[in-house]
Structure 1
């Protein structure tokens, strides 16, 4: 027993050293204490210019608690009276995925709300509108087919189940102005491998269209009555009142899309509305961890133009960011009311 106790003590000491190397003991105590006051809504925000309007919104009441972990700052407070944790991810898929995983792993959450701005591929939407997709895809995961092969040819590693031709492809030669051929050939879109928390570790599943929480999505219909800002200032206004609308699909990739040809392609191929760089990563993490989530994206540009408002992302980003935050606040109010009714019943 003496040897066993020594080995046990050594093992426990190693665990302490490892945990302190990853997360300092003081921070772990802060996390444990904070979790006793939960659960919280996790608010995941891509960038500073999208975070600031929320920090400045009168419905946000900060607490004295801020926890910094692995380069991420988790701000505690309330939004519309609901306990919330705010965290900024940084640009694109890797940052948003890492941040969302930290959030749902470390903290006691009841749901995740993601918001920000987006480009637009949907001709029925306009700058200033806020889109609420029911499904999100990661459209930047590709199998790039070798030159000379076509749709009838299997992809590399397709036979082992790593890749598929089920989703479809883009043929670069279709967009050539000088030739009917192109060495870039075809790019095939691929589903993500996912490993759900209630599944078998290392036993992969696949998903391309990730659904938001159905209850959240149904509640979001009530947001269509909310009035949004039309003017950024006395001289810069939209020519129409912006609207809030639930749409079928949005898509993300670590690519800033400002190209009319690609915008038209992804709309024709996938019928997506917002096009941006973070939401699919948030969706995938929440899907794997079985955490309810929803995303609100305000249109700041037209992903390649096509109207007199082309390439005006710089001008309209502040207005879009403000409208996205207003939708988040109003949604939290609606969600809070639904929780009260559920508790009464």
Structure 2
């Protein structure tokens, strides 16, 4: 019995039961999945989704164009002649993780492609460039150290194996202004130590945790991404053009957290500490769910802003988010056309 069949058996067939998969829905899901396997496409927000839905190479399934479940709409069709199911997650790690888990639980999915826009922490790249990181990490899971404890002091619950100092920390006093008035100010915020996620892979013993900080994308997908570097991308929004034509590039690392980073100091810290390029709010959640479900994945993120380091007036995403979204979709379409 598959996972879906087990869920139906346990939850029952009544559509009025909370959390249940009704008979009608279970039949629809089975009918959709029989046409698979599909590539799952996970996208955060509507402005990133719209260019994909408007693409002439995306064709909805004539019989099952979409399936609504648990507040999500799963669009079924073909993109570049590949069978796909597309789901919009909404903002944040929580929404991205839930949507990805539902996608993989309900349908016959052979791989996941996540795409969207991101902030840029890499001074060698510019707005409009499309990045494909090899590794993703969630940098929003912290152990916040008590006042006056330092790097050599054990963290709370570290001895039990719940937390670690192995990844490193951010010391807030490193970013205090060195003025006469601030020299005597205590660093009450002290340090925050970055933590790995607890993971529970589907093929491991239940409730026996593993840990993951850097999650690697699928090797085959990452190799395919080499073939994307010749794509010609748009570099202008109306009459506002970028200094050079945007490029597609594979990079080493991207990071995610429930934080919109519009701060130059933290952007530079993420780049120097973790060698991070792309900064977003969803990709690591998709990566972690796919890691646990043993499903191949890759994330494509177009740079929409400099994460606090560009314009002094406003974040650049207000101007370039639409350009970045379209560039991400162009790369997605080429990538999916290359999957065998």
Fold similarity call, TM over 0.5: yes
Which residue does 1:34 correspond to in 2?
32
Q: CA deviation at 1:13?
A: 9.4
> What does 1:148-159 correspond to in 2, within 5 Å?
148-159=148-159
Query: RMSD of the TM alignment (CA)?
Result: 1.8
**Is the CA contact (8 Å cut-off) linking 2:89 and 2:99 kept in structure 1?**
yes
Q: Deviations over 1:170-222 (max 9, x none)?
A: 00111112236310000000000000011110000001000000000011000
Alignment partners' CA distance in 1, 2:67 and 2:163: 40
Which residue does 2:51 correspond to in 1?
53
Alignment partners' CA distance in 1, 2:66 and 2:31: 12
What SS does the aligned partner of 1:146 have? coil
In the alignment, structure 1 residue 70 sits paired with structure 2 residue 70: yes
In the alignment, structure 1 residue 100 sits paired with structure 2 residue 104: no
Q: CA deviation at 1:310?
A: 6.6
- The correspondence for 1:285, drawn from 274, 282, 289, is 289
Of 104-113 and 174-183, deviating more is 174-183
In the alignment, structure 1 residue 327 sits paired with structure 2 residue 331: yes
Gap regions ≥5 residues in structure 1: 1-11, 340-345
Alignment partners' CA distance in 1, 2:254 and 2:11: 45
Aligned residues: 325
Alignment partners' CA distance in 2, 1:231 and 1:173: 40
Alignment partners' CA distance in 1, 2:190 and 2:85: 45
Q: CA deviation at 1:27?
A: 1.4
Alignment partners' CA distance in 2, 1:50 and 1:306: 22
Q: CA deviation at 1:14?
A: 7.0
**Is the CA contact (8 Å cut-off) linking 1:193 and 1:205 kept in structure 2?**
yes
Alignment partners' CA distance in 2, 1:126 and 1:316: 11
Gap regions ≥5 residues in structure 2: 1-8
Of 303-312 and 87-96, deviating more is 303-312
In the alignment, structure 1 residue 225 sits paired with structure 2 residue 230: yes
**Is the CA contact (8 Å cut-off) linking 1:19 and 1:25 kept in structure 2?**
no
In the alignment, structure 1 residue 16 sits paired with structure 2 residue 13: yes
Q: Deviations over 1:59-107 (max 9, x none)?
A: 1111242101100000001000001001000001000000000000110
**Is the CA contact (8 Å cut-off) linking 1:66 and 1:74 kept in structure 2?**
yes
In the alignment, structure 1 residue 252 sits paired with structure 2 residue 249: no
> What does 1:132-151 correspond to in 2, within 5 Å?
132-151=132-151
Alignment partners' CA distance in 1, 2:307 and 2:314: 8
**Is the CA contact (8 Å cut-off) linking 2:89 and 2:95 kept in structure 1?**
yes
Q: TM-score, normalised by structure 2?
A: 0.92
Q: CA deviation at 1:232?
A: 2.5
Alignment partners' CA distance in 2, 1:285 and 1:14: 23
Residues 183, 139 of structure 1: CA spacing in aligned structure 2 closer, same or farther, 3 A cutoff? same
More helix by share: 1
